[in-house]
Amino acid sequence: KAGVTQTPRYLIKTRGQQVTLSCSPISGHRSVSWYQQTPGQGLQFLFEYFSETQRNKGNFPGRFSGRQFSNSRSEMNVSTLELGDSALYLCASSLIAGKTDTQYFGPGTRLTVL
């Protein structure tokens, strides 16, 4: 069974631009979560989607948004990019939502903001 895939793997943007990252969960998994990983803050939860609905949201500004499609694929968007948004963005999928479930991570998208 294929793992979690994320595209693109690398992105370079400039301040003020916006970016969209994509995540395809493991086949059959219906919950997708997004995390930001930086050397200073570590791994921080952004949001979780299940059945096209946002179930949980972390402490990030409204510039960070996401959505999930009927096939469980998910996208996250960051608008008005800032230098501090440079990070590895990780997507994780799990079979169900509503109760804590094992999460499997993708390889991440490395975003660099210049």
Partner 1 sequence: GENVEQHPSTLSVQEGDSAVIKCTYSDSASNYFPWYKQELGKGPQLIIDIRSNVGEKKDQRIAVTLNKTAKHFSLHITETQPEDSAVYFCAASIRNTGNQFYFGTGTSLTVIP
Q: Which residues bind to partner 1, rule: CB under 8 A? A: 4, 31, 33, 35, 42-45, 48, 50, 55-56, 58, 90, 92, 94, 97-108
Nearer to partner 1, 16 or 52 (CB): 52
Nearer to partner 1, 9 or 15 (CB): 9
**In Å, what is the CA distance from 25 to each residue of 16, 41, 81, 88, 93?**
29, 25, 26, 17, 5
- The angle subtended at Cα 73 by Cα 70 and Cα 76, nearest 5°, is 115
* Least distance CB 2 / partner 1 (angstroms): 14
* Least distance CB 59 / partner 1 (angstroms): 8
Nearer to partner 1, 75 or 105 (CB): 105
* Least distance CB 17 / partner 1 (angstroms): 25
